[in-house]
Every structure is written in C-alpha cells, then in structure tokens.
C-alpha cells in the first residue's frame, strides 16, 4: 500500500485528522501547512508555493518516494502547486469536500457576491482570527454531535489570508496521475452539486459519495478510512 499524506483545510492544522488515523492501514503523514502547528510563519507570508515547499519537505523527511495525496476543503487550492512540485511522486490525489476554483480564480471568488464582499472587508479590517463558534457550527457542525463539535472547535486555528484570496493555477493538474473526489453529501459549506463543478476543474475524477457533512474525518472516520485504504491499496 502506498503511504497517505493528509493535508488539512482552512482554519485547521494536522490535528483535525486525529480521529481518522487509527482506522488507516498504511503509513500516514498528517502535515501542517505553514503558519500553524509544526510550521509557524507570519500568516501574510503563506502562499500556495510555500505550502507546496512545506508539504514536499515533510514528505522527504518521512522518506516517502510515492504517495497518495489527500486534501480536505481549502487544501484543494494548494494541492495543484504541491502536485506540481512533487511531480510523479503523487500517484493518486484525493479531494475530500474540497474547493478547487476555476483556473486563475480564488476560493473567495467561488462564494456568492454578498458573502464575498463581507469576507473581503473582514480580511482588510482585521488580523486573521479563529472562526467564530456559531459560524463554525453552521458550516462544519451540521452532522456533529455536541462532543464531536467541541472536539472540532478545539482544533480551530487562524487561517493564512492569501490561501483564500490568491488565484489558483491549475496547470499542474494536467500531468498524469489518478484522482478521486470524495463528495460529502450533507456538506453545508460546499453543496454536493458545487462539488461536482469543482471536481470537473480537477479533471477526470472518480467521484465517491460519503454520507457526511464537511468534517467527514470527524463524523465518519471509519467510512472515510475505508475509501482511503482502498485507494492506497490499488494506487
């Protein structure tokens, strides 16, 4: 089985995968993108290129030659740069409820206009902060029980703003590798139809549905692990 490299989404670090790890059957590395956890950095300095360099360095340190790269949510924006840097070492890429905007646009551009305006104003007016718990409940917690949601928000961290506002270069996705989209059917932040649009931006994705909301690794870790174990065994 190929090793798995897990890339967290926006507002989280490697700890968001902790409930999933015991169910995985292959060596697994849950990384921290720059600006959090094991890779502190000024939030404004964190770019997609910095994320790619950081993940590649962690993969090298782990001694992995070929990997299955798994990204959740906002990781869909940094994964193309990471795939471009790692090249054919990425045998399979898995996008879990991810955001993959059209080429040359940003994650923020995928939001409705009125929400975009509010988000841009917030980014301009304040330093990055931890997501408000009421907002987190609405977008992350719709299938989490009270204990799971408390576990989830304990792991929230400030997000690096450029990962939401910088345009994404999808050119690295044109290289040859297998790709799977795990569609979180009850997702409150990226609905199931929007995910199909994003999967089309990735190109030639096998789509696997999971009966979970956005934080599938918390609400349905065993089901998500079955999908990832199957991919790692056949990649």
> What are the C-alpha distances in Å from 59 to residues 3, 19, 52, 140, 173?
10, 21, 11, 28, 19
Annotated domain spans of the chain: 4-234
Q: What is the reported pLDDT for 123?
A: 67
Reported pTM: 0.95
User: What is the Rg, in whole angstroms, of the alpha carbon atoms belonging to the chain?
Assistant: 16
Bridging pattern class, strands 67-72 and 90-96: parallel
For tokens 């400030």, the residue is 158
Assign domain 4-234 to its CATH architecture: 3-Layer(aba) Sandwich (3.40)
What's residue 17's pLDDT? Answer: 98
184: left (phi over 0), alpha (psi -120 to 50) or beta: beta
Round the average pLDDT of the chain to a whole number and report it: 94
Q: What angle do CA 231, 54, 104 make, to 5 degrees?
A: 80
Q: What is the pLDDT of residue 191?
A: 94
The pLDDT value recorded for residue 135 is 84
pLDDT at residue 125 in the model: 58
Residue ranges of the chain whose pLDDT lies below 50: none
């Amino acid at each position: 089985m190929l090793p798995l490299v897990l890339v967290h989404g926006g507002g989280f670090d490697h700890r968001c995968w902790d409930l999933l790890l015991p169910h995985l059957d292959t060596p697994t590395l849950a990384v921290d993108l720059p600006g959090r956890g094991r890779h502190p950095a000024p939030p404004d300095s964190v770019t997609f290129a910095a994320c790619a360099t950081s993940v590649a360095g962690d993969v090298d340190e782990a001694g992995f030659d070929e990997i299955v790269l798994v990204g959740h949510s906002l990781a869909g924006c940094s994964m193309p740069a990471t795939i471009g840097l790692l090249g054919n070492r990425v045998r399979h890429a898995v996008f879990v409820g991810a955001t993959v905007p059209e080429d040359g646009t940003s994650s923020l551009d995928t939001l409705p206009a009125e929400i975009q305006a509010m988000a841009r104003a917030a980014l301009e007016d304040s330093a990055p902060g931890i997501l408000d718990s009421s907002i987190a409940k609405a977008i992350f917690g719709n299938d989490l029980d009270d204990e799971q949601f408390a576990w989830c928000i304990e792991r929230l961290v400030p997000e690096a703003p450029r990962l939401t506002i910088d345009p994404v270069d999808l050119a690295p996705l044109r290289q040859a590798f297998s790709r799977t989209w795990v569609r979180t059917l009850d997702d409150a932040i990226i609905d199931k139809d929007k995910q199909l649009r994003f999967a089309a931006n990735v190109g030639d994705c096998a789509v696997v549905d999971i009966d979970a909301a956005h934080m599938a690794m918390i609400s349905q870790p065993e089901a998500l692990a079955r999908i990832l174990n199957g991919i790692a065994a056949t990649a």
